[in-house]
Chains A and B, each alone.
Chain A
Amino acid sequence: AQSVAQPEDQVNVAEGNPLTVKCTYSVSGNPYLFWYVQYPNRGLQFLLKYITGDNLVKGSYGFEAEFNKSQTSFHLKKPSALVSDSALYFCAVRDVTGGFKTIFGAGTRLFVKA
């Protein structure tokens, strides 16, 4: 069975500092990996995805993530955090050999302090 772990319930970072939101996954086959963001009282918005190819993927709002197969990780990063980045972030995995079901992590709340 596939699973996703976001080990941090909350991440605090000062504006202008780099941020990392961690994600590890477990699948039986090859994964598709996704990051989504949810702002208060709003729906989930897609940020970026890894399907194949380069391990470093770039997405919306200056975010990027690195796929690490050996560590089964897909951490979300941004070089310089903004207060407006404060939101709930979800990592998701789709097992391409297991029926393409997409499972989400529990979410990590990011607080960026001015």
Chain B
Amino acid sequence: GAGVSQSPSNKVTEKGKDVELRCDPISGHTALYWYRQSLGQGLEFLIYFQGNSAPDKSGLPSDRFSAERTGGSVSTLTIQRTQQEDSAVYLCASSLQVAEAFFGQGTRLTVV
């Protein structure tokens, strides 16, 4: 596709359930990022994939969060046993190594 695609656009889940968020990056982009944005706030770095290198997971807030990137393309962010504080917009971005990142529209996660 022409841009970064994220699905679903909105997700409402019950506390304690697991959720999976999907990101399709721009074709050919070697870098993929996940960020979290609470209402009107800044972007919190979660995880970064670069080519075949080991991902930088330094931003994951707890062991309930994990992400993978299959075949150097599609990425899935999984949140296990969701909590209300996990409610936020989850943003995915992709880039070439020396270029700006392009963002998807995000997945708005609401934990009730």
Contact = CB atoms under 8 A, between A and B. Distances in A.
Interface string A33-48: 0101000000110100
B48 A104 contact: no
B33, B41, B103: residue with the most chain A Cβ atoms closer than 10 Å: B103
A51 interface: yes
Chain A's interface: helix, strand, loop or mixed, by majority?
strand
Interface residues of B, number: 26
B8 to A, nearest CB: 15
B42 A100 contact: no
A102 B33 contact: yes
B45 A107 contact: no
B98 A107 contact: no
Given A44-B91, A46-B102, A100 B43 contact: no
B98 A104 contact: no
Contacts of B95: 102
B33 A43 contact: no
A46 B45 CA distance: 17
5 contacts: A90-B42, A99-B50, A100-B48, A101-B33, A107-B41
